[in-house]
Structure 1
Amino acid sequence: MAKEIYVSSIGSDKNVGTKVQPFLSFERALLETKKFAGKEPVHVWFLEGDYYLNKTITIGIESSGSLKNPVLFSALPGSKVNIKGSKELKNLKWNAYKNGIYVASVPSGLTFDQVFINGERKVRARFPDYDYENPLRGGNGYQQVIGGTNHRYDKWLSFDSKTFTNKDWKNPETGIVHAFQSHNWGNMQYRVKEVNRTENKLYLGEGGWQLQRDHGIGGSGESASWFFVDNIFEELDTPGEWFLDTKAKLLYYYPQNIQEFKNAKVEVPILKDFIQLIGTKESPVKNISFKGLNFTQSRYTYMDKYEPVARGDWAIHRGGAIFMEGAENCVVEDCNFEYVGGNGVFMSSYNRNNQVKSCRFVHTGESAVCFVGSPSAVRFYQTWDDKEIYGKNWNEMRKNMDLTSGPKTPDYPENCIVENSVMHDIGDVGKQVAGVYISMSHKIVASHNTIYNCPRAGICINDGTWGGHIIEYNDIWETVRETGEHGPFNAWGRERQWSGSRGTDADFMKELTKLDAIDPVIVRNNKIANYRKSISAGNWTIDLDDGSSNYEIYHNLNLGSTIKLRDGMLRKVFNNITVSAVPLGWHVWPKASEDEIYKNIFVISGAIPGNAEPTNSYIRQVGLPTDTKWSTHYDDNLYWNVNAPKNEYIVDKVTFKQWQEKGFDEKSKVADPLFVDPKNGNYQVQANSPALKLGFKNFPMDEFGHEMTRIKPFGGDFSGETKVEVIADKRGGKEADIYFTLDGSEPSIHSQKYKGAINIKNSTLLKAQTFDKNGISIGFVNEANFTKVNEVVYPSWLSTLLTGKYEGQEGKTNKKALEMELEGALLINIADDPDLIDATGGYNYGCYIKSIDPEKGKIWITAQLPADWVIQQVNGNKIQNIAALKKQFEINKGKTIIVTAARDYNFKKFEVKIP
């Protein structure tokens, strides 16, 4: 028995809070809750309706429950409850302005950055206009800069006067520039300071804090930053756009059709966070749950405070629709986060045993779920901004460094879970985002989540403090859609053991590895897929970048790309499957790394996107030790090259036999693994597979992703007809039923009842939902779009695998990175080699020195400029490619030049005497 409190959108705060006389507001229900919290169980029931919050709900320890007497805020089962961070603008008087635009007065002092009309979010006036067909970076809704300062904090960007708007901006200072960083690791926002059409420049005001690293807006050609500008009145020129004149208190809107104004419901966000649970580690908020609530319509946060997070590349805003700091045993369940302007759920600093489960995150402005500890808990804390923005010397900062193991304080999330949730189409505004983001945390579990349609990572572990995480049974695809040099699962580990990025003894101090990475991170039983061309370099399925250490990676299905291990220690990679045209990325491991690679199936198939030439080797190694064996347990793997079964090159120009003579894969085999049914997603191997004889063990192929209502396959193209299976939400039990629709309408118990596989013959939007024996809906409506085509076109890797022979990419021409020898140095145009860009520190211009001939290359040897560096300047002049370097050699023939070269995050000058 629990104390029950009822809330209704048509109730009154003067009522007593019963079902017959419910309260009206969340605030009044919370006030009543405090009378009973911790003394007896409390259930606060929200009846169906919209609940507008006037201010953020702050819940402190006075509302805490206990294990015996928990507190629950829940939608009444079967009721649709919307908690809104917006205000409805009633009785607006729309008057015709001009050119199809209407205008209405709004209340004084009201500011907002979004407008929802009849529940649909409209576009703020912008240039270029929003591209509804392709709203992503690279679509018609963006332009590329001609140049820029390319250093945070940017002062200006230059635009192409031929394609830039010709409209006169009378108040440009209202505008916000949304621009991708030149290296394309994320985007930033700046206020417009001034437009100079004589110089073709936008001068920039405050902003640029939304990510780390010094790279800003700039670049040239294909690598130039993409941008758009919004909140400009003169750009209100397209149906569906709006603009708020805050000084005149006027809202302008260009309706898509005049019918929109008939009974139009206009809502504007006024809050950023809906609910904050605020306690301390000494007195935490405890045992509070939220269930079945839909959180929607909150303000953007991109112009608020962000902070650089350790030495990962990211910066974050500590805020979320539900924000927890100093919380224990709190649960967010069956909640929907849709059109929230910032993060979904954010656990900051001290948090213990909290759960996010069976939730849905869609159209969030930033990330879905974040676990971020406090820098005060880290014994040695550095950021990239320390070095690159504020000019601090990292090595100087390391003097007298605390060498005690583990965290310094308990101000971090620990033993928290995000499970059985769906995260898709996130990062509407911020592009350096993730479905699940983990930093300065310990023992976080991310399990059975489905994550897709993300601009950057599906799951990102920002740093190696303090490990112990379990990443399992997730289904991740269509990520890293608008950024590059990243992975659907991405990790960094730039803690006390890491001072550089080459894996040398000077860069990586192995004895310090477990000071921060105290427990292994387990990555297991995940399906991670890439079915399309990478936006730029990288996009490895599992990307362990700089310093990531103490990992166990097993039972993962990697499709369309593969695993990368950069400098790090103690990584065990075993019993995984990779099928891809992308070779394994083994980059700059330390000597005696203690990395182990065994009992895996590595299949090469097709061509790397953009190339017409098939991949012919299994491993792309860069900067590995040459004087030592870099792994003592590298064996029992099965290799197969579908492109050329008789081709036994493991590494470029190294045969399988030569590879074994080096001490690797001595018991491994080259043979067809004999997958059961790859066309339908079953990559288990048959009973007579040679992989089984090597010790490989099959793992389940039907347990990836969420376990709510599922549709298999999850949409896509088909020809002829296709059969679709729908699986009920596990929580419904044996008596649950599934109801579905094929016309785009919402399913109910009056819709078609699912009795078996659905045969689809035409393009169809299928929606399905599980209902319990009482007809109460469970979880969310799942939907999948099936498109009928004459012929299904698969990516090269998949078509090659299915046909069993190399299938090229129609219309593609092979663009190999140019290699050329110059005075005994074999050089590569690094801009043409995405893997090399990723392996050397993200440099997208210059000449990579692949090797130096000991006889011909004396000028380089004398200058002490070794291989594995990237030449970027000669006498201060930028070197874009080999042609530019040759030109400088011709100009300075017989002279001594100053060559500036980069390797990872270090720059060095060399005196080179040109003969």
Structure 2
Amino acid sequence: MNKNTMNNELVFYASPKGNDKWSGRLPEPNESGSDGPFATMEKARDTLRNMKKSGKLTWPVKVFLRGGIYPLAQPILFSHEDNWPVTYCAYPGETPVLDGGKRITGWTREKLNDRLEVWVANIPEVAEGKWCFQQLVVNGEIRNRTRLPEQGYFRIKSVPGTDLSTAGLFDGSDTFVYSDNDIQNWRNIGDVDIVMLHYWIEERMPIEHVNENKKLVTCKYKSSFALIDDNRTGYSKYFVENVFEALSKPGQWYLDRKTGNIFYIPMPGESLEDVEIFAPVVEQALRLEGSEYDSKCVEYISFKGIKIRNTGWKHRPRKDAEKFGVCYAGDVQAAFNVPGVIFLKYSRFCSIEDCILENIGYYGIELSDGCRNIRIIGNEIYNAGAGGIKVNGGDINSSKNKYTKYNQIIGNHIHHCGRVFHSAVGVLCGHSSNNNISHNHIHHLHYTGISCGWMWGYDENNLGNNRIENNHIHHIGTGILSDMGGIYLLGVQPGTVVRGNVIHNIEKANYGGWAIYTDEGSSHIIIENNICYFMASTGFFQHYGRENIVRNNI
């Protein structure tokens, strides 16, 4: 078998111009059209899997992906059967794109309300209930669903059973009274979202019923928190999303799930002749998923120089709520239950380097249970529905095989995230230890830049020895949420170091725009040599904790 003897590795190729019936050993089709690169990553994966089973793999493997679009009909899955030193990487000078979207065609020009030009296309799969999406990308840019009010927020008038002065944090509700005509019985009312912004979370609450006589709205999910402002001066602020009757501005769109019609108001300069409009068909692109036993982990698979784009999102009611017979609209913090577009579970010695994730619906990359020695280096994640990178394994009471640790998150650029899940974090490190989070550039998020820890108070946990060093964090918070920090810490974390970070331009809604924020129980942490400026609150704030060292910060 041919091999690259210089690098002691086997080389395969895939290309949008390829064919999965070919050998994959040539970078482009031969003159006779009888051989050339594969057409898909899946074929390369399956070929290597079969070679491994038959004992034909003896060298590390590199799979070069030629530039162009690789449409995704479903996430690409890797299991322990694929364990081998394999790198899926961009062909030199080219950009392969894993595209989670499908192009929408068949547009016609129509008039909306006899005055406004709107493009309309019919999508049979939508009318048949086979496809639904909440995101639209036009010429590479995300377009917005309709929003009411167009600027600012509505304010709840009252909440049955909820008193401003006595309500507890977790006294959520699925009903409230609105003011004036803020909410109406709009077309397809069940597809309209109410987005609450209060405390440090958003709550996305689809409407179930509107009683216009009583001005009472009932939502599909109950709110996690009481529907009041965190300063108790009023009830929660909110906006309404996805109202057909609100179509009025260029760049807005609406999908009618009953008829399958999609409406789009073009931006100035856009024409049907040269526009490309995509909607997502998948929510995740890559899944590396082993099992809890050591012999079944996914190992030694790497991705380098690949772009991932146009993946979607759906409502994520809080998972553990089903135990109580109730679904809650929001997570209690940091959009914690929102998954990653690249998802790893029980994976070791894998890497994601120099990749770009853009126009995605969730977190960019997630390391779940049992992930160790993973390298996430030099990636760019932006225009994400949630945050950048999420790391969270089993807690102190779980099997040690579930512990997630020894990972490197270095030199990533994470920006302009939280489009859908506003409370998402740039880098979220929950139940995890011995990680290196350094030299990342994180900016323009609605909530915290880096969050480390997931245990409120002094209880025993498996946190600690995390290094948060030399990160540049700025323009965090946009005045819509409270209780945040450029770097946020939680729980007892012996050996954790926050050092050499530059943090600035931290904003807040009502309170808590701190540069470095040690929240409940944060203890045994060294915080030194950081530079913090232009904070809405202070450079450092300790909620409660003990035996921290805070020195030589500016």
TM-score by length of 1: 0.52
Give 3-state SS (helix, strand or coil) of 1:72's partner.
strand
1:792-836 Cα deviation digits (max 9, x unpaired): xxxxxxxxxxxxxxxxxxxxxxxxxxxxxxxxxxxxxxxxxxxxx
User: Relative to structure 1, is the Cα distance of residues 328 and 455 closer, same or farther in structure 2, using a 3 angstrom cutoff?
Assistant: same
Partner of 2:31: none
Partner of 1:288: 301
Give 3-state SS (helix, strand or coil) of 2:245's partner.
helix
Superposition pairs of residues 173-188 of structure 1, within 5 angstroms: 173-181=190-198, 184-188=199-203
Partner of 2:340: 320
Partners of 1:41 and 1:244 lie apart in 2 by 47
Superposition pairs of residues 546-695 of structure 1, within 5 angstroms: 546-560=520-534, 561-577=538-554
Partners of 2:425 and 2:43 lie apart in 1 by 35
User: Relative to structure 1, is the Cα distance of residues 372 and 318 closer, same or farther in structure 2, using a 3 angstrom cutoff?
Assistant: farther
Partners of 2:377 and 2:273 lie apart in 1 by 39
Partner of 1:826: none
The question of whether the paired residues in 1 share the 8 Å contact of 2:335 and 2:421 is answered with: no
Tell me by how many angstroms 1:220 deviates: 8.9
1:252-280 Cα deviation digits (max 9, x unpaired): 22223474312221211011111000012
Superposition pairs of residues 421-432 of structure 1, within 5 angstroms: 421-432=412-423
Partner of 2:285: 274
Partners of 2:545 and 2:229 lie apart in 1 by 32
Partners of 2:358 and 2:41 lie apart in 1 by 19
The question of whether the paired residues in 2 share the 8 Å contact of 1:36 and 1:42 is answered with: no
Partners of 1:104 and 1:97 lie apart in 2 by 13
Partners of 2:357 and 2:489 lie apart in 1 by 26
Letter in 1 for 2:532: N
Tell me by how many angstroms 1:314 deviates: 4.6
Alignment partner for residue 194 of structure 1, among 189, 201, 209? 209
The question of whether the paired residues in 2 share the 8 Å contact of 1:319 and 1:342 is answered with: yes
Letter in 2 for 1:96: E
User: Relative to structure 1, is the Cα distance of residues 216 and 237 closer, same or farther in structure 2, using a 3 angstrom cutoff?
Assistant: same
Partners of 1:410 and 1:447 lie apart in 2 by 26
Partners of 1:60 and 1:324 lie apart in 2 by 10
Partners of 1:27 and 1:527 lie apart in 2 by 42
Partners of 1:219 and 1:326 lie apart in 2 by 39
Matched, 1:205 2:220: yes
Partner of 1:849: none
Give 3-state SS (helix, strand or coil) of 1:280's partner.
coil
Partner of 1:302: 315
1:264-300 Cα deviation digits (max 9, x unpaired): 2121101111100001242210111111111111111
Tell me by how many angstroms 1:555 deviates: 1.2
Matched, 1:120 2:141: yes
Partners of 1:85 and 1:152 lie apart in 2 by 38
Partner of 2:411: 420
Alignment partner for residue 231 of structure 1, among 228, 233, 242? 242
Matched, 1:522 2:468: no
The question of whether the paired residues in 1 share the 8 Å contact of 2:12 and 2:62 is answered with: yes
User: Relative to structure 1, is the Cα distance of residues 373 and 215 closer, same or farther in structure 2, using a 3 angstrom cutoff?
Assistant: farther
Alignment partner for residue 253 of structure 2, among 232, 242, 256? 242
The question of whether the paired residues in 1 share the 8 Å contact of 2:475 and 2:507 is answered with: no
Tell me by how many angstroms 1:95 deviates: 4.3
Partners of 1:57 and 1:472 lie apart in 2 by 33
Letter in 1 for 2:500: N
The question of whether the paired residues in 1 share the 8 Å contact of 2:133 and 2:313 is answered with: no
1:565-595 Cα deviation digits (max 9, x unpaired): 2322221112222xxxxxxxxxxxxxxxxxx
Partners of 1:171 and 1:78 lie apart in 2 by 48
Partner of 1:13: 20
Superposition pairs of residues 489-504 of structure 1, within 5 angstroms: 489-493=487-491
The question of whether the paired residues in 2 share the 8 Å contact of 1:448 and 1:472 is answered with: yes
Partners of 2:219 and 2:230 lie apart in 1 by 17
The question of whether the paired residues in 2 share the 8 Å contact of 1:301 and 1:342 is answered with: no
Partner of 2:108: 94
Give 3-state SS (helix, strand or coil) of 2:16's partner.
coil
The question of whether the paired residues in 1 share the 8 Å contact of 2:338 and 2:362 is answered with: no
Partner of 2:97: 82
The question of whether the paired residues in 2 share the 8 Å contact of 1:118 and 1:264 is answered with: yes
Partner of 1:844: none
Matched, 1:41 2:39: no
Letter in 1 for 2:482: G
User: Relative to structure 1, is the Cα distance of residues 280 and 206 closer, same or farther in structure 2, using a 3 angstrom cutoff?
Assistant: same
Alignment partner for residue 463 of structure 2, among 463, 466, 472? 466
Q: Which has the larger radius of gyration?
A: 1
The question of whether the paired residues in 1 share the 8 Å contact of 2:483 and 2:508 is answered with: no
1:104-145 Cα deviation digits (max 9, x unpaired): 11132222111112222212233223xxxxxxxxxx153232
Please, which runs of 5 or more residues in structure 1 have no aligned partner?
130-139, 380-406, 494-512, 578-915
Q: How many residue pairs are counted as aligned between the two chains? A: 499
The question of whether the paired residues in 2 share the 8 Å contact of 1:97 and 1:103 is answered with: no
Matched, 1:58 2:72: no
The question of whether the paired residues in 1 share the 8 Å contact of 2:378 and 2:412 is answered with: yes
1:884-913 Cα deviation digits (max 9, x unpaired): xxxxxxxxxxxxxxxxxxxxxxxxxxxxxx
Give 3-state SS (helix, strand or coil) of 1:260's partner.
coil
TM-score by length of 2: 0.85
Partner of 1:770: none
Matched, 1:433 2:424: yes
Partners of 2:526 and 2:78 lie apart in 1 by 39
Partners of 2:332 and 2:51 lie apart in 1 by 44
Give 3-state SS (helix, strand or coil) of 1:179's partner.
strand
Partner of 2:472: 475
Partner of 1:538: 512
Partners of 2:123 and 2:439 lie apart in 1 by 45
User: Relative to structure 1, is the Cα distance of residues 218 and 11 closer, same or farther in structure 2, using a 3 angstrom cutoff?
Assistant: same
Partner of 2:32: none
The question of whether the paired residues in 2 share the 8 Å contact of 1:338 and 1:363 is answered with: yes
Partners of 2:92 and 2:158 lie apart in 1 by 56
Letter in 1 for 2:174: K
Percent sequence identity over matched residues?
Answer: 25
Tell me by how many angstroms 1:8 deviates: 1.2
The question of whether the paired residues in 2 share the 8 Å contact of 1:147 and 1:219 is answered with: no
Alignment partner for residue 39 of structure 2, among 9, 24, 32? 24
